[in-house]
Amino acid sequence: MPKQTPLRLIKRCRLYVPRGEWKIPPVTRGIYVLYQKKPRRVKEKTYEVFYIGVGGVSKNAKSGVGARIKHHDKTKKDGWTHYSFFEVHDNVSGEEILELEGLFLRIFRHDPRVRLDNVQLGSKILWGLSEESAPAWRE
């Protein structure tokens, strides 16, 4: 009998790893978050979300989350100090990973405590679902 996993989508994760410590298994598929560490003050969070992204989305991906984060080390030199990543199970499709990214971007889009550096701030498909589904809920 196969081993039961604690989560249906996420296989494993690493949280709040300092930039430059590349503790990511090769070709990891999933979603990642870049943070900027803030000084601790009363009622202020320590890590501010800077960027949300995905890696290893295509079936034949030769690079994954690790390559994406290392790429941001060169292109987004300022603004982030730590990262977290969430590896998905093998049966999670690339489309599902992108759907998770779109959902998180939509959730954080208007949160004044979060400064996203993403150009894409959510999924057009998800936005369309909210518009199409609304009348059905009123019935």
Share of the chain above pLDDT 90, in %: 22
Q: Which helix (H) or strand (E) holds 23?
A: none
Rounded to an integer, what distance in angstroms lies between the CA atom of residue 56 and that of residue 100? Answer: 13
Share of the chain above pLDDT 70, in %: 71
Q: Which residue has the higher pLDDT, 40 or 75?
A: 75
Confidence of residue 15 (pLDDT cuts 50, 70, 90): very high
Q: Mean pLDDT score of the chain, rounded to an integer? A: 79
Confidence of residue 57 (pLDDT cuts 50, 70, 90): confident
Rounded to an integer, what distance in angstroms lies between the CA atom of residue 74 and that of residue 50? Answer: 15
Show the beta-strand stretches assigned E in the chain. Answer: 10-18, 30-37, 47-55, 82-88
Q: Are 127 and 99 in contact (CB under 8 A)?
A: no
54 bridge partner residues: 31
Find the mean pLDDT for residues 108-116: 72
Q: Which residue has the higher pLDDT, 101 or 58?
A: 101
Find the mean pLDDT for residues 112-132: 63
pLDDT at 93 over 70: yes
46-60, 77-91, 113-127, range with greatest mean pLDDT: 77-91
